[in-house]
């Protein structure tokens, strides 16, 4: 048990140290700010006709996502079906979907929410 705790602490410290070094290096580089619409040569329509089924917890941020789905669909050609449930029902439905392998949902919440 003590070895596991010590290992977890060491990994955490290593991660924090590497992120600190990475962040310091990133600050030294001066890049021009991204210009709106300057996305390179991305083919936004490469997955046109695809359908994404989303299962999410009904909370304020999910409503914001819903407001922007039409913009996403217009940009990518991907159709998004979103189902919002309270956290308990969402979790149950997601566990059944993932464990049974039915693959009804392509995108879902991970974790839980205390915002009900």
Q: How does pLDDT run across 1-45, given as a tens digit for each residue? A: 455 444 555 545 455 555 554 455 555 556 665 555 666 788 999
**Residue 42 belongs to a domain:** no
Q: What is the pLDDT of residues 49-59, one digit of tens each?
A: 999 999 999 98
Rounded (5°) CA angle 32-37-42: 100
Question: Range of 76's domain?
Answer: 51-108
Closest CA to 110 of 52, 57, 53, 51: 57
Asked if residue 18 is part of any domain, the answer here is no
Flag whether 73 is in a domain: yes
Structural domains in the chain (count): 1
Look at residue 84 and tell me if it is in a domain.
Answer: yes
Q: Kindly state whether residue 24 falls inside one of the protein's structural domains.
A: no
In a domain, 64, yes or no: yes
Is 79 part of a structural domain of the chain?
Answer: yes
pTM assigned to the model: 0.60
């Amino acid at each position: 048990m003590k070895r596991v705790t010590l290992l977890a602490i060491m990994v955490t410290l290593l991660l924090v140290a590497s992120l600190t070094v990475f962040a310091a290096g990133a600050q030294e580089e001066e890049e021009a700010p991204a210009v709106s619409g300057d996305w390179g040569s991305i083919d936004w329509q490469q997955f046109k006709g695809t359908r994404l089924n989303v299962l999410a917890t009904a909370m304020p941020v999910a409503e914001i996502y819903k407001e922007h789905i039409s913009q996403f669909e217009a940009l990518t050609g991907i159709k998004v079906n979103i189902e919002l449930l309270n956290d308990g029902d969402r979790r149950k439905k997601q566990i059944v979907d993932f464990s049974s392998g039915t693959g009804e949902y392509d995108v879902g919440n991970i974790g839980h929410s205390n915002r009900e």
